[in-house]
Chain A
Amino acid sequence: MLSYLIFTLTLGGIYGLLALSLNLIWGGVGMVNLGLAGFFAVGAYVSALVSIAGMPLPLAMLLACVIGAMAGVIATFATIRLRGDYLAIVTLGFAEVVRMVALNERWLTRGSDGVSGIPAPFRAELGINGFNMFYLGLVSIIVLAVFLTMRRLDGSPFGRVLKAIREDQELATFAGKYVTRFKMQTFALSAAIAGLAGALYGHFQTYISPDHFQPLITIYIFLAVTAGGVGRPLGGLAGAYLVVFFLEATRFLGELFPGLQPGQVAAVREILVGVALLGVLHLRPQGILPEHIAPAPKTETTP
Chain B
Amino acid sequence: MKPLLQVKNLERGFYGVRVLNGVALEVMDGSITGLIGPNGAGKSTFFNCISGLYMPDKGSVNFAGRDITRASPQDRMESGLVRTFQLARGFPKLSVFQHLMLYGQNHPGESLVASLAGSKAGQKHEEKLAEEALSIARRLRLSHVIDNPVTALSGGQKKLVEIGRALMAKPRLVLLDEPMAGVNPTLTAEIADHLRSLNAEGVTICLIEHDMKLIGSLCDPVIVMAEGRKLTEGSFEAVVADERVQEAYLGGRH
A residues contacting B by CB (< 8 A) are 149, 152-153, 156-161, 163-164, 167-168, 170-178, 185, 189, 231, 291, 293-297, 299, 301-302
Contacts and interface: CB of A to CB of B under 8 A. Distances in A.
A178 B149 CA distance: 24
Contact of A156 (B74, B85, B105, B109): B109
Contacts of A152: 115-116
B92 interface: yes
A63 B165 CA distance: 43
B246 interface: no
B236 interface: no
Contacts of A175: 77, 102-103, 165, 169
A171 B130 CA distance: 21
A157 B109 contact: yes
B90 A153 contact: no
A163 B51 CA distance: 23
A164 B102 contact: yes
B66 to A, nearest CB: 16
A300 to B, nearest CB: 10
Interface in B110-143: 110-112, 114-116, 122, 126, 130-131, 133-135, 137-138
Given A171-B89, A293-B93, A296-B146, A158 B74 contact: no
A299 B105 CA distance: 22
Contacts of A171: 85, 89-91
Interface of B: 51, 53, 73-74, 77-78, 83, 85, 89-95, 97-98, 101-103, 105, 107, 109-112, 114-116, 122, 126, 130-131, 133-135, 137-138, 146-147, 149, 165, 169
A176 B110 contact: no
A146 to B, nearest CB: 12
A293 B98 contact: yes
Nearest to B75: A176
Nearest to A159: B115
Shortest 3 CB-CB distances between A and B: which pairs?
A158-B115, A167-B91, A176-B77
A185 B110 CA distance: 12
Contacts of A161: 102, 110
Contacts of A157: 101, 107, 109-110, 114-115, 122, 126
A302 B127 CA distance: 13
B160 to A, nearest CB: 16
B74 A177 contact: yes
15 contacts: A156-B109, A156-B115, A158-B109, A158-B112, A160-B101, A160-B102, A163-B93, A164-B91, A167-B91, A172-B91, A174-B83, A175-B169, A291-B93, A295-B95, A299-B130
Nearest to A154: B115
B166 to A, nearest CB: 10
Contact of A299 (B98, B112, B131): B131
A152 B114 CA distance: 11
Contacts of B134: 296-297, 299
Given A167-B91, A293-B94, A302 B122 contact: no
Given A157-B122, A176-B105, A295-B95, 10 more contacts: A160-B98, A160-B101, A163-B93, A167-B94, A172-B102, A173-B74, A174-B53, A175-B102, A177-B102, A296-B146
Contact of A153 (B94, B116, B138): B116
A164 B149 CA distance: 12
A293 B91 contact: no
Contacts of B101: 157, 160
B94 A163 contact: yes
A206 to B, nearest CB: 32
Contacts of B116: 149, 152-153, 156, 158
A29 to B, nearest CB: 12
A32 B134 CA distance: 34
Contacts of A291: 93
Contacts of B85: 171
Contacts of B97: 295-296
B197 to A, nearest CB: 17
Contacts of A178: 74
B91 A168 contact: yes
A152 B117 CA distance: 10
B112 A167 contact: no
A156 to B, nearest CB: 4
Given A293-B147, A299-B130, A174 B115 contact: no
A162 B157 CA distance: 24
A163 B91 contact: yes
Contacts of B149: 293
Contacts of B107: 157
